[in-house]
């Protein structure tokens, strides 16, 4: 089954053709980073206009690279949330129009589920029996979550960020240090050769005597990066000069270490508490070299298999959206075509068998 996926939830205009959920026949992406860079972050108005301008060409490119045509694909998939409302609407309207025009089914997909699913998108991916139950760490520019996957299509949200996402924490740190946008790659690069223990930045939600629960989640499994960000800002203000050279390298290495540790501490807590067969990491921040090394070391220490997204599928892409659509169709969970986008769509909204821990 060949599915044409479309993704426009934020600042990547993407289309892809995927066969049987795992074989990526094409993965066309127009990244708008250069258009947003002067503003230090994503500007929704610019993102929307860019999607309008670029999406038709990106869809054509995805079909052409895959050697497919509108007539030869079996179904369409589109991200309908969460994300920027005006950005989501561009991909959603295009997908809906195409599906109607072609008389083919359209499957609505949750963007976060796409990230979680991306770790399975390789031809040698292990079977469901070998990996479930699995812990998924989803770390993107807009969200950081720990998700317990009991089986295909059965997800339980264990914890999430209560303020910034891990990617956002890196993006904002790069802005404070005048390193540009997006922050994750540039902080990783600048941190090379720096001392990760030079400055002890906070790891979030440590040493607080506030209650055990945040909303309905165990606070020990939730993330907070706002204190870390403030700590960096205070550190830089106290310096009285703009850091450069070794000093800048040390700051970046220490900050990156704190972000990775904050993630690792919570992953290890879940591994100690729940008898999972495997754990995974997906989303833009999962490209980070230090994070990958730390997760790999944790996997060896615990003797629990680790699945990482293939690098081209870490940041936003449409292949992961088509992959989820295939799984949902295979499991009979595709449900009705969504009637509209949902910018606040939660992971628990997307199908049957989803619960949230109480």
Work out whether strand 2-7 and strand 12-19 pair parallel, antiparallel, or are unpaired: antiparallel
Helix, strand, or coil (residue 353): coil
Distance CA 108, CA 78 (A): 5
Nearer to ligand KG4, 171 or 261 (CB): 171
State how far the Cα of 221 lies from the Cα of 108, in Å rounded to an integer.
29
Nearest-5° angle of CA 348, CA 354, CA 358? Answer: 80
* In contact, 265 and 272? CB cutoff 8 Å: no
Residue 285 interacting with ligand KG4 (CB under 6 A)? yes
Find the binder of ligand KG4 among 131, 232, 287, 295 (CB under 6 A). Answer: 287
Least distance from ligand KG4 to the Cβ atom of residue 150, Å: 24
Contacts of residue 218, Cβ cutoff 8 Å, sequence gap at least 6: 158, 159, 212, 357
283 binds ligand KG4 (CB under 6 A): yes
Kindly tell me which residue out of 95, 170, 313, 354 binds ligand KG4, with binding defined by CB under 6 A: 170
Out of 91, 183, 194, 351, name the contact with ligand KG4 by CB under 6 A: 183
Question: Of 134, 316, 326, 328, which lies in the binding site for ligand KG4, with binding defined by CB under 6 A?
Answer: 316
Burial environment of residue 209 by CB neighbours within 10 A (0 to 12, 13 to 18, 19 or more): exposed
Q: Residue from 5, 81, 142, 351 that binds ligand KG4 (CB under 6 A)?
A: 142
72-80, 136-144, 206-214, 339-347 -> range binding ligand KG4 (CB under 6 A): 136-144
CA distance to 64, 144, 325, 337, per residue, from 118 (Å): 23, 16, 12, 22
Nearest Cα neighbor of 238 from 227, 220, 255, 251 is 251
In sequence order, what DSSP letters do the residues of 208-248 get, joined into one string?
--S-SEETTEEGGG-B--HHHHHHHHHHHHHH-S---HHHH
Contact window for ligand KG4 (CB under 6 A) among 20-28, 178-186, 261-269, 322-330? 178-186
Q: Is 308 in the site for ligand KG4 (CB under 6 A)?
A: no
Q: Which range binds ligand KG4 by CB under 6 A, 18-26, 139-147, 150-158, 267-275?
A: 139-147
Q: Pick the binder of ligand KG4 from 141, 159, 204, 323 (CB under 6 A).
A: 141
User: Considering the complex, what minimum distance in angstroms separates the CB of residue 303 from ligand KG4?
Assistant: 27
Helix (H) or strand (E) holding 44: helix 44-66
Alpha helices in 284-348 (DSSP H): 289-302, 319-330
Q: Count the residues of the shown chain that bind ligand KG4, applying the rule CB under 6 A.
A: 19
Nearest-approach distance from CB 149 to ligand KG4, in angstroms: 18
Q: Check residue 110 for interaction with ligand KG4 (CB under 6 A).
A: no
* 44-52, 96-104, 121-129, 137-145 -> range binding ligand KG4 (CB under 6 A): 137-145
Omega of the bond leading into 133 within 30 degrees of 0 (cis)? yes
Q: Which of 3, 6, 10, 260 binds ligand KG4 (CB under 6 A)?
A: 10
Which residues contact ligand KG4 (rule: CB under 6 A)?
10, 140-142, 167, 170-171, 182-185, 188, 283-285, 287-288, 315-316
């Amino acid at each position: 089954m060949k599915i044409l996926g479309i993704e426009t939830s934020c600042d990547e205009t993407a289309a892809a053709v995927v066969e049987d959920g795992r074989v990526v026949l094409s993965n066309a992406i127009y990244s708008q980073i250069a258009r947003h860079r002067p503003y230090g972050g994503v500007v929704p108005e610019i993102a929307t206009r860019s999607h309008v301008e670029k999406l038709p060409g990106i869809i054509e490119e995805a079909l052409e690279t895959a050697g497919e045509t509108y007539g030869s694909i079996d179904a369409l998939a589109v991200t309908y949330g969460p994300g920027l409302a005006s950005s989501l609407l561009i991909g959603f309207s295009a997908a809906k129009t195409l599906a109607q025009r072609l008389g083919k089914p359209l499957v609505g997909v949750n963007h976060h589920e796409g990230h979680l699913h991306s770790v399975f998108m390789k031809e040698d991916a292990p079977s469901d029996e070998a990996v479930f139950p699995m812990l998924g760490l989803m770390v993107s520019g807009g969200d950081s979550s720990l998700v317990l996957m009991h089986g295909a299509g059965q997800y339980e949200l264990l914890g999430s960020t209560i303020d910034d996402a891990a990617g956002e924490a890196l993006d904002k740190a790069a802005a404070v240090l005048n390193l540009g946008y997006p922050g994750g790659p540039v902080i990783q690069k600048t941190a090379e050769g720096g001392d990760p223990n030079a400055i002890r930045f906070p790891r979030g939600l440590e040493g607080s005597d506030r209650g055990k629960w945040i909303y309905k989640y165990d606070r020990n499994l939730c993330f907070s990066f706002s204190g870390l960000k403030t700590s960096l800002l205070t550190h830089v203000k106290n310096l009285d000069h703009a850091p450069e050279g070794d000093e800048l390298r040390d700051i970046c290495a220490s900050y990156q270490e704190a972000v990775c540790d904050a993630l690792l501490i919570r992953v290890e807590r879940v591994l100690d508490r729940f008898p999972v067969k495997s754990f995974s990491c997906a989303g833009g921040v999962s490209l980070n070299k230090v994070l990958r090394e730390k997760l790999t070391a944790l996997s060896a220490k615990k003797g629990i298999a680790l699945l990482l997204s293939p690098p081209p599928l870490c940041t936003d892409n449409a292949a992961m959206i088509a992959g989820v659509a295939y799984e949902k169709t295979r499991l009979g969970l595709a449900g009705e075509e969504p009637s509209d986008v949902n910018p606040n769509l939660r992971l628990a909204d997307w199908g049957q068998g989803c619960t949230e821990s109480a």
